[in-house]
A and B are shown apart, each in its own frame.
Chain A
Amino acid sequence: MTAPLLSVMFTAVISQNIVLSQYQGICPFLGVSKKPSNAAGMGFAVIFVMAISSVFCYLIYHFVLLPLNVEYLYTMAFILVIAALVQLLEMILKRFSPTLYSALGVYLPLITTNCAILGTANSAIVYQSYNFVYTFCVSVATGIGFLLAICLLAGVRLKTDRADIPACFKGFPITLVAAAIMALAFAGFSGILA
């Protein structure tokens, strides 16, 4: 709570990147990074849902779970909030913003099982107990970190798909090795803002 907001956000984007140093959201990171355009769509959808779900999870945790003394149910409450929110968002976008819906639409259902969303809500609200502004900003920053990581990996995969590598390394294995090198590069930024 004492750390300034800007440094907390910078840490969430770069040095404590949600995918590369906290190992959350690796399934979509590997699965939806074949083409840069798909990766960008997934990244923006994650930012969107993460920001909105953090607001709702915060309100539910502080105004429903804590007063009722059932805060141990936070996992169930948060995942239900996220699942319901994703459904609602899908309907609202379909009705009011067809362009945004066609851009994000296919990725929205996948987001329910993206552990980065639940993980961020858990850590910001329950483990770190940030206040409302911090929770929202950290969630947006984490989403930006996810976007950055998945777009960069999609760029790398364009090269590795054409490279002449052993047959058994094709597909996921070489992507994981590339991700490891990216993780080292991202971790190199830690310490800029202490």
Chain B
Amino acid sequence: MDKAKLRETLLGGVRSNPTFVLVLGTCPTIAMTGSLFSAFAMGIATTFVLIFSNLFVSLLRGLIPDKVRIPCYIVIISTFVIIVQMVMKKYLPDLYSTMQAFIALIVVNCIILARAESFASCNKPLYSVLDGVSMGLGFTAALCVIGIVREFFAGGAFAGMSIPGFPVMEGVGASAFGFIVFGCMMALFNFLIAKAEARKARMKNATLPLAGHEPQAAEVSK
């Protein structure tokens, strides 16, 4: 097993985070992050579909003819979406009734098709499953972070428990707020990445002059 490749695959969910870096699957990101709980449920449902679609696309990658690959991927993905729908309908009926529309739309979630097309169709099953886990958890984490922020600012609550003293935003404001929070979070993510890169570049440049400045260091120590 190739260690470097394994590491690369596992870090994929952070380095090319589906929500903040690739900006894929934005519809559930905005629609389902009204509360931490629904964001988490959506993320886990997507992760499940992503892992299994990656596994099966990877297993069947030698059999699927190149010309009809997209319909084949869609059939594989929608099979698992229907499984999720049935399981949720049976065991979590209340949650399912509020999320029904977007659970069905996991089929056209760009992340899943993009990973099937760009990763699973040309990698071994093990790596594909790991990629699914990593990407899915990256997506879930991003949704949960947005869910926490939105729930706190719009509802004055954390994970369903209301915090006393915070005003509750109602109606339109709360729903349009999703766009603003997502935009600001993405800006923050860009800002942090730019800052980390600038710091890395500075460290690289700084090591060379420091080595040649030993007399100065001695002066300071005096």
| Also in contact, A127 and B101, with CB within 8 A (given A72-B86, A173-B190) | yes
Chain A contact residues: helix, strand, loop or mixed = helix
Contact status A27-B107, CB under 8 Å? no
Residues in A whose Cβ lies below 8 Å from that of B188: 168
Q: How far is the CB of A112 from chain B (nearest CB, A)?
A: 7
Indicate if A30 sits at the interface (CB-CB under 8 A).
Answer: yes
Q: How many A-B residue pairs have CB under 8 A?
A: 125
Q: How far is the CB of A42 from chain B (nearest CB, A)?
A: 15
Residues in A whose Cβ lies below 8 Å from that of B177: 180
Which A156-194 residues have a C-beta within 8 angstroms of B? 166-169, 172-177, 179-181, 183-184, 187-188, 190
Chain B contact residues: helix, strand, loop or mixed = helix
Contact status A80-B74, CB under 8 Å? yes
Indicate if B24 sits at the interface (CB-CB under 8 A).
Answer: yes
Indicate if B172 sits at the interface (CB-CB under 8 A).
Answer: yes
Query: Residue A172 contacts which of B23, B74, B85, B172 (CB distance < 8 angstroms)?
Result: B23
Query: Residue B183 contacts which of A25, A76, A174 (CB distance < 8 angstroms)?
Result: A174
Residue of A nearest to B103 (CB): A75
| Also in contact, A75 and B85, with CB within 8 A (given A23-B30, A27-B27, A183-B176) | yes
- What are 24 A-to-B residue pairs whose CB atoms are below 8 Å? A23-B27, A26-B30, A27-B26, A27-B27, A76-B74, A76-B75, A83-B71, A83-B74, A113-B110, A115-B27, A115-B108, A118-B105, A119-B101, A119-B105, A167-B190, A168-B190, A169-B183, A174-B187, A176-B182, A176-B186, A179-B183, A180-B177, A183-B179, A184-B172
Q: How far is the CB of B97 from chain A (nearest CB, A)?
A: 10
Which A22-75 residues have a C-beta within 8 angstroms of B? 22-27, 30, 72-73, 75
Residues in B whose Cβ lies below 8 Å from that of A168: 187-188, 190-191, 194
A6 to B194, CA, bound (A): 50
Residue of B nearest to A177 (CB): B183
Indicate if B113 sits at the interface (CB-CB under 8 A).
Answer: yes
Contact status A24-B105, CB under 8 Å? yes
Contact status B85-A72, CB under 8 Å? yes
Which B80-113 residues have a C-beta within 8 angstroms of A? 81-82, 85-86, 100-101, 104-105, 107-110, 113
Q: How far is the CB of A39 from chain B (nearest CB, A)?
A: 17
Query: Residue A122 contacts which of B104, B175, B182 (CB distance < 8 angstroms)?
Result: B104
Residue of B nearest to A180 (CB): B179
Residues in A whose Cβ lies below 8 Å from that of B178: 23, 180
Which B98-146 residues have a C-beta within 8 angstroms of A? 100-101, 104-105, 107-110, 113
Residue of A nearest to B113 (CB): A113
A84 to B70, CA, bound (A): 11
Residue of B nearest to A26 (CB): B26
Residues in A whose Cβ lies below 8 Å from that of B194: 167-168
Residues in A whose Cβ lies below 8 Å from that of B186: 172-173, 176
Indicate if B173 sits at the interface (CB-CB under 8 A).
Answer: yes
Residue of A nearest to B108 (CB): A115
Indicate if B180 sits at the interface (CB-CB under 8 A).
Answer: yes
A146 to B118, CA, bound (A): 29
